[in-house]
Amino acid sequence: MSFDGFPPFISAQLHYLVNHFPERIKVEQVLSGGKTYAGGLDRFTLLIPYCLDYIKWDIIYNAEFPLAPPDVIFGPEDEDFHPLHMTGSVGEGDLKFQNILSDWNHKDPTRLLALIQELRDRYVAYQKKRVGEVDDDRLKFEISTICSREGIEMQISSGAEKPEEVKFAVPLMDMNINKMVHGCPWRHPQKIYLQVIYPVGKKYASTPSPPRLKLMSTTELRALFSIEDVKLPSWLDGMCMAEYLPHLEESLQKQVVEAVSLIDIRRRFIESLAPLFGRPLEADPVFCRKATFLASSGSFVFLVHLLISTQFPKQQPALMLQSSQHISPQGIPKKSPLLSEYPWSPRWETSQMAERIFDFLADESLNFKRFCSESQPQH
Amino acid sequence: MDNLPLPLHKLAVPGPTLASMIQRLSSSAADVDGLLFGHVTYIAPSTLPDDSAHSSPVSQLLATISGFLCFPSLLSFYDSLGRVDPSRLSSTTHLIGWFSSRRKTPLRPSIREFCVTRSLSSTPNLPLPIHNSDPESLFAPSIFLLFTTPLQDQFIQTNQYRAFHFQSSRPCFNPLSIDVVNIGPAFRGHYGSFSPTSALPFLSCELRSLTPMNEDRNEETLIGMKQTEKDQSLLDTCAEGMQVGRLSRLIGPEATNYTSGLEDLYEKMLLKTESLARLVEASSAKVLEQENHDRKLRYKVARSVGVE
């Protein structure tokens, strides 16, 4: 993301914030507050990840007054959020926040990050307080048992049409997944969360309805492990989070460990293709999800792409052929559709898997060659 | 004592004042803020039985803006934490609140605006007495007027504004409805509520029989001359070229040419207003020059990051 058009002091602080914030922060609605654009861009909206969603805060700098700290406008639902006047939170925290603003140094690129970090921490406390004030016995019980966990975030959402709900984002498993992957390229620590949404109970309802549960993870984890494949244990009547979470975590832990071990299996599979196809042109060395080989059938030279899912070997790799001798009118090399229907059994030896793919492709490549030359205008 | 339990019902702004504010804001190069001056009146509840069904029996306060002062820079009377510096406001009277203008931002108060309003409404010595009410009840400057422009605004210039009343007890902003007072039949009642902010100065006046002896005595004694000088300088603050002595002809037995004398007085007062306007124009030009100079210096500072 380039920040052209910002005066240097703003762009330095914004760059630092985006690169060093523990999670991915997004910037949008970049505008200039000046009468003309001469001063430069000086206001924008930050999308800050919170509770498995984003909160939008508007940051107002002033290109004309670089020495002043930026001002912040919160979302329309957070009218009562006043970080500088939070009752009950006394002591060092308050002073630290006040110092960030009163000792603002516009030349220090780390200042914006410090400000946003501090504001976000206070926002967590503010939401906690709001949820604590909800008049629902089940919620009060849940909060008392679950709050000892690190990193829980909660949010009240109420709209004109929707009933009031409280959403919890519970980080699962204390394991450092990044460390488990050899040569891990991930910049941020990958985590899995359980999203629990409780409808706020009406007093006259006899049995409270179970909460809605959903597993969510940071995006890069998908290369290793897909949470869509996880089946959540069912929520029994009268259960509470303190009972439900340990089972879920245990099962997830096993699945993640298994997913890591599958990397090696995929690697061995790719290596087993080498004797038949030659060394791969390209392969993903960390997660072993993709490999590309050069092949030829007679004088027809083509590329074979293998896309290996996290469910390998239960699920066979998807194959795609790409011609090196035919291009479409738009200048793109001709490709076959994804081929995933071919004889397969997960119980075969890796070498046999390689052989069967080889045989399949030997036949399929003739079809592909015909397809390519047929759709080519004849010279 | 500084926050009545009575709710502030409405904010009234004369049309020209609002227009002048908006003109000032939209011609400024960057975000600005400033102070709002005016008065607060207590409206007694109407006891007529045939009022409309939803007339509120609750007595109300009505705030009226009569003027404003726009600061050319941010952090003018407050610091970066939004704390108001009372020494900057020591000579203001009739302060009822403040306003802030920022382009291309949402129409909601920000952190700093909340802090400034909170600090302003609890600054001592600023609350003003309420008209029509007992002199003990005071109104703290707690009105906040926010001006913004829409985020997407290309060919049509739109100015948005919203008023809030700060409630110290919660603390929070309560929305405040605005009445723009314009000239017209519906607003005839407002003419009666105008009160001059600069009345004619109070000059000592004696009805004395005009004998030549008395006149001489008046002009020749030192005390008399000093008094005349003092009176003349008072009169010069609102009229130009009017001799104090001529005022005595507007009263008593000499006041036969009362009308022409009065017209003369008004003419001289207008002359004074005109020369004041020219002074203001000249000084505004100087202020603008200074502001431009300051802006250039700030640009230099803004672009010097990374040099150190």
pLDDT by residue (tens digit) across B234-271?
888 888 888 877 777 777 676 677 788 788 888 988 99
Cβ–Cβ < 8 Å for A29, A45: yes
pLDDT in tens, A14-38: 999 998 888 888 998 888 888 776 6
The pLDDT of A251-276, averaged and rounded, is 89
Tell me the chain B residues in contact with residue A33 when contact means C-beta distances shorter than 8 Å: 30-31, 102-105
Quick one: B43 exposed, middle or buried, by C-beta within 10 A (0-12, 13-18, 19+)? middle
pLDDT of residue B51: 53
Q: CA-to-CA distance for A37 and A31, rounded, in angstroms?
A: 9
pLDDT in tens, A153-174: 888 887 666 778 888 888 888 7
Nearest chain A Cα distance for residue B23, angstroms: 13
Tell me the chain B residues in contact with residue A16 when contact means C-beta distances shorter than 8 Å: none
pLDDT in tens, B127-169: 888 887 777 788 889 999 999 998 887 788 889 999 999 988 8
pLDDT of residue A46: 94
Indicate whether A91 pLDDT > 60.
no
In the predicted model, what is the mean pLDDT of chain A? Answer: 84
Tell me the chain B residues in contact with residue A80 when contact means C-beta distances shorter than 8 Å: 172
Tell me the chain B residues in contact with residue A8 when contact means C-beta distances shorter than 8 Å: 302-303, 305-306
Quick one: A111 exposed, middle or buried, by C-beta within 10 A (0-12, 13-18, 19+)? buried
10 Å Cβ neighbour count for A231?
8
Nearest CB neighbour to B303, from listed A8, A64, A65: A8
Indicate whether B58 pLDDT > 70.
no
Return the residue in A15, A30, A58, A64 with the most chain B beta carbons within 10 A, the one to mutate for interface testing. A64
Q: How many CB pairs lie under 8 A apart between chains A and B?
A: 109
Nearest chain A Cα distance for residue B24, angstroms: 12
Q: CA-to-CA distance for B53 and A135, rounded, in angstroms?
A: 37
pLDDT class of A212 with cuts at 50, 70, 90: confident
Indicate whether B99 pLDDT > 90.
yes
Nearest chain A Cα distance for residue B121, angstroms: 15
pLDDT of residue B212: 46
pLDDT in tens, B291-308: 889 888 877 877 765 444
Quote the percentage of chain B above a pLDDT of 90: 25
pLDDT of residue A55: 92
Tell me the chain B residues in contact with residue A35 when contact means C-beta distances shorter than 8 Å: 26-30, 103
Quote the percentage of chain B above a pLDDT of 70: 78
Which chain A residue has its CA at the smallest distance from B110's CA?
A: A73
For residues B5 and A259, the model is more confident at: A259
Return the residue in B31, B79, B151, B294 with the most chain A beta carbons within 10 A, the one to mutate for interface testing. B31
Which chain B residue has its CA at the smallest distance from A98's CA?
A: B81
The pLDDT of B115-132, averaged and rounded, is 87
CB contact under 8 A, B298 and A71: no
pLDDT of residue A119: 92
For residues B9 and B53, the model is more confident at: B9
The β-bridge partners of A31 are A43
CB contact under 8 A, A65 and B298: yes
Buried b (16+ CB within 10 A) or exposed e, B83-103: bbeeeebeeeebbbbbbbbbb
Which DSSP category does B54 fall into? T
Question: Which of A22-36, A88-102, A293-307 is least confident?
Answer: A88-102
CB contact under 8 A, B105 and A73: yes
Q: What's domain B8-191's superfamily in CATH?
A: Cytidine Deaminase, domain 2 (3.40.140.10)
Tell me the chain A residues in contact with residue B81 when contact means C-beta distances shorter than 8 Å: 84, 98, 101-102
pLDDT of residue A184: 83
Token pair of B140 as six digits: 């703290």
For residues B182 and B36, the model is more confident at: B36
CB contact under 8 A, A71 and B302: no
CB contact under 8 A, A34 and B113: no
Tell me the chain B residues in contact with residue A65 when contact means C-beta distances shorter than 8 Å: 30, 73-75, 298
pLDDT of residue B112: 92
The pLDDT of A326-350, averaged and rounded, is 87
The pLDDT of A199-227, averaged and rounded, is 78
pLDDT of residue B87: 87
The pLDDT of A291-300, averaged and rounded, is 89
Indicate whether A69 pLDDT > 50.
yes
Quote the percentage of chain A above a pLDDT of 90: 12
Number of alpha helices (DSSP H) and beta strands (DSSP E) in chain A: 7, 13
CB contact under 8 A, A31 and B114: no
pLDDT class of B36 with cuts at 50, 70, 90: very high
Nearest CB neighbour to B105, from listed A58, A68, A82: A58
Give the amino acid at A271.
E
pLDDT class of B171 with cuts at 50, 70, 90: confident
ipTM of the complex: 0.78
B269-277 long-range CB contacts below 8 Å, 24 or more apart? B269/B238, B269/B239, B269/B240, B269/B242, B271/B239, B271/B240, B271/B241, B272/B236, B272/B237, B272/B238, B272/B239, B272/B240, B275/B240
pLDDT class of A201 with cuts at 50, 70, 90: low
In the predicted model, what is the mean pLDDT of chain B? Answer: 80
pLDDT in tens, B42-57: 877 766 655 555 555 5
Assign B88 to helix, strand or coil. helix
Cβ–Cβ < 8 Å for A189, A171: no
10 Å Cβ neighbour count for A324?
13
pLDDT of residue B299: 78
Indicate whether B118 pLDDT > 80.
yes
Return the residue in B79, B81, B107, B170 with the most chain A beta carbons within 10 A, the one to mutate for interface testing. B81
pLDDT of residue B251: 72
Nearest CB neighbour to B104, from listed A33, A64, A68: A33
Indicate whether B34 pLDDT > 90.
yes
Domain residue ranges of chain B, discontinuous segments joined by +: 8-191, 239-307
Nearest CB neighbour to B28, from listed A35, A72, A80: A35
pLDDT of residue A95: 75
pLDDT class of B97 with cuts at 50, 70, 90: very high
Q: CA-to-CA distance for B274 and A244, rounded, in angstroms?
A: 82
Residues of A within an 8 Å Cβ radius of B = 7-9, 12, 29, 31-36, 39, 43, 58, 60, 62-69, 71-74, 76, 79-80, 82-85, 98, 101-102, 104, 106-107
